[in-house]
Structure 1
């Protein structure tokens, strides 16, 4: 829930279903032809004044409505007539402000590409999978805008996928094996494979990228048998599916909870699904906040599951940990990162509310597993040791000391430790290079800004996105000059290099990366690049803090 109320819903609420076009945008018509059909788009302009073609709101799969509700997606293979791709598609169902464009017919893709005259050869493709905890967010241009990356010679595709119960309902039987939201992503990647050449992209040079839920998705595609051959490099920012405990084989408890919230029977999977199909997408989407168990926690609700075999095409067939260690992955060059402060601001939602502070103090053993997403294994020991390690066994107060400890505990438990674990596993077993990074830059804006000063106070979860995508629903575009502009140039240069070379390091044609040398991470030398003002090299990212987690949830690396 936190991602909705604290970050993503703020984005959507301010977006109100669209964004104000930049005054200097050209609105001439663009066109593309692929084996699937013809597409009419618009012309747009980057922050540096480069014109590009933009195709928005293209359905990549049949509308997941009616009989296709709670079913795997059906790929669009042929379009009738010329597809009007001049306007954004909707957000997938989730809580939003009145007036926001939301609909269950939301399986859309946006494609942005340099103008035809600037494309002398097929260009590398970047596919972005959005953040939002698998229950919020979008690939729309108001929160995943192309106006920075399209200053580079790349084709950018951003996608929507079904969220919440509509995307991840899993009863553990043939009626709802699960993972449909991930299968939507696979359908989008297959659409890219089949169609991207018509937009100037190289289907043999696809980099999949994502933040938070999207970052976890990226790693899962490296494991999924459904995704083999659909991509060639990868970037994961701030989450991982390799965490404190193995993935489950169903989330039937969430299916039951969803049914009860909408007054549906719960005596069988069939009864649940038959009843939920009679409910509107708005009822399903708007019920999200009722999944909270303490304040706005847990942050993670719907998660990937290991599908049982009912004869269906399965997205996940084995545990990510086992797949990595056994080499049963689609290994590609890989960038893994987290931000310095991740969910530090989550502490303020507790400490600035005396009721929540008292509740967490008095019911620590009950609340901590919810807030920090702790598995049942070793739970009693975990809540005690984490309180000692992060809070020094002191009661929470509205103080700097409590905010620092609680903020780090939230960030490490939800994001940091899983990313640490993924980087260390992949650097040992991938067979392809792994680069590790920490985003540690605080600019003019942040997804958490002090409510009094209106200024950023750290490098929060999602803040790296500010320098890769235009986020017009929330922040003004970054201009051409100043420290924030320099960070945009550097971040997009890294992504561009990764997309064209499979290596983020510069090759002499990028003055913005002059002096940058980013070595691969190895088990013996766990070097990472601090994405700060100087792009400095450091070692052993947050490993002093992660020791307690390694002892609580040990694995063999």
Structure 2
């Protein structure tokens, strides 16, 4: 595990010696080369690990594919950017790039097809996948991509002010110099554990918005992974088959129990959560829309409306921005989904958030909840019961993801539905909800999407 603040252990954990990958191969060894799936973990670019304690691909391996999970440097150790070769930024993304290159060069020795590689990730891992689809350095290394609940346009995924963040960290660590090379030389003598300890969390919500995340690399840097702003890079991105989607209650992850209770009792608390991003006029429009106008797509309770609001702010509105770029410029098929299944192994809602009873009345899936149906978490000990709806969901999701990895098409005859690809002219998405899984015509959360499009025009 790369060095980080561990929420499970409540302390700094991990090591600088962390750039390892795990390869999982099915027991059945056939002569035919197998499709390869490279997984990039989430954690806001500041936490997480490729360890099978969290991501054991038992369900995916059953579908006869090879799974690779990779580590990458996190927080300031992976994303500090002074716009110089000595500290160019995006080191964590370059770690991922090196791992994918290694897989491309060596996976045939494990029975994998080096011409049939899919990269997939969730949250920051999904935003990382998005970066690889944009970076010229990643071109040709993989053939397909799956993006779950994250893109580079999300507010937690990209730092527009990386240089300011870098100098602030240096000052917190006792360096008052203003020459980037001198600052980097100073930081080289600071223990890594102190750098992680002094990494400052931005934002005034319980949702962790970090400063050390992907950023544009300066023209002065010789080996640039993101040589321009993502909004420019999307114009020249490679075309490849993509699965992309979100969960219907992503915003549940944005709050602790105490903050949620305050907001439920006093809507004015929303001002404190939004004021760093928006003017008072826009906040009033937001409050009016979510609590007065949005009757069909938003919920029937204040709790639902708050969760939808923060789902949109942190995930959905920018998901649609990335989605629009993909479907308008990608000639390859794009498959869109919304995950709403609410089961016992929803990772965040029903396992990690068991001490947040306020959320238990909400129907749907929180951020990262689908991961319990793709991977077995050994450390947390969650597993579906035999013959349960949860086990059926595991089998369904694994089948869809691995079908796509094998052929570029998630469908197969043993599924009871057909997942049709979406387009700009005819938007549609698959609603993933166990036995109620079905196609929905139209744009996901269309009125909420259009509301934020109007807001963005005025900002």
TM-score, normalization by structure 2: 0.88
CA distance in 2, matches of 1:353, 1:268: 46
* 2:29 aligns with one of 109, 118, 131: 118
Q: Aligned-pair distance for 1:122?
A: 1.1
The structure-2 alpha-carbon separation of the partners of 1:359 and 1:165, relative to structure 1 and needing over 3 Å to count, comes to farther
Q: Aligned-pair distance for 1:297?
A: 4.5
* 1:406 aligns with one of 300, 306, 317: 306
Aligned CA RMSD, in angstroms, stands at 2.9
Alignment of 1:276-291 (within 5 A): 276-288=187-199, 290-291=200-201
The structure-2 alpha-carbon separation of the partners of 1:348 and 1:453, relative to structure 1 and needing over 3 Å to count, comes to closer
Alignment of 1:120-519 (within 5 A): 120-243=31-154, 251-288=162-199, 290-324=200-234, 326=235, 328-347=236-255, 349=257, 351-352=259-260, 354=262, 361=268, 364=271, 367-370=273-276, 374=277, 379-392=279-292, 401-446=301-346, 447-449=348-350, 451=355, 452=357, 457=362, 458-506=364-412, 508=413, 511=414, 513=415, 515-519=416-420
CA distance in 2, matches of 1:99, 1:414: 26
Match of residue 49 from structure 1: none
Alignment check: 8 A CA contact 1:125 1:157 kept: yes
CA distance in 1, matches of 2:287, 2:323: 26
CA distance in 2, matches of 1:363, 1:330: 40
| Deviations 1:365-406, CA, capped at 9 Å, x for gaps | x64144xxx3xxx7454333223222459xxxxxx8432222
CA distance in 2, matches of 1:100, 1:318: 33
The structure-2 alpha-carbon separation of the partners of 1:340 and 1:200, relative to structure 1 and needing over 3 Å to count, comes to same
CA distance in 1, matches of 2:169, 2:397: 40
Q: Which is further off, 140-149 or 296-305?
A: 296-305
Q: Establish whether residue 105 from structure 1 lines up as the match of residue 17 from structure 2.
A: yes
CA distance in 2, matches of 1:205, 1:242: 27
Higher helix share: 2
Q: Aligned-pair distance for 1:121?
A: 1.3
CA distance in 1, matches of 2:254, 2:359: 17
Gapped regions of structure 1 (runs ≥ 5) = 1-89, 394-399
Query: How many residue pairs align between the two structures?
Result: 444
Gapped regions of structure 2 (runs ≥ 5) = 294-299
| Deviations 1:122-167, CA, capped at 9 Å, x for gaps | 1000000001010111111111112111111111000111111000
Q: Which is further off, 405-414 or 452-461?
A: 452-461
TM-score, normalization by structure 1: 0.74
SS at match of 2:25: strand
Alignment check: 8 A CA contact 1:142 1:472 kept: yes
Q: Aligned-pair distance for 1:111?
A: 0.5
| Deviations 1:443-491, CA, capped at 9 Å, x for gaps | 1133123535996843010011110011122242224421111001000
The structure-2 alpha-carbon separation of the partners of 1:456 and 1:210, relative to structure 1 and needing over 3 Å to count, comes to farther
